[in-house]
Amino acid sequence: MGESVEQRVFVAKVSRKNLVAIPKPVTDKLNICEGMRVRFVIRGDEVILEPEKDAFWYALHGPKIGRISFNELEEESEREQEALQGSP
């Protein structure tokens, strides 16, 4: 049988400049905060609101594909600094 999906309905008013304030329960559920970009997807007669996932979002929430210790990071940093300064 199909999976049951929770559905909650919120109403917002469209301003003269076509602006809509996203209700707080929606921003909380989707982890949308000030300054973030959102995407509107039109599917038939429905509009889906999704947070835009940029490089910063993926850095914080995306899959981790490698691990590095602090010591390895520090060694790499020292090598890069020496290369930039022209040291052997």
Q: Which residues contact 36 (CB under 8 A, 6 or more apart)?
A: 51, 52
- The structure's pTM equals 0.56
> What tokens does 26 get?
């929606």
38-79, pLDDT tens digit by residue? 999 999 999 999 988 877 777 777 787 778 888 888 999 999
1-47, pLDDT tens digit by residue? 567 778 899 999 999 999 999 999 999 998 898 888 899 999 999 99
Compute and round to an integer the Cα radius of gyration of the chain: 22
Q: Which residues contact 82 (CB under 8 A, 6 or more apart)?
A: 88
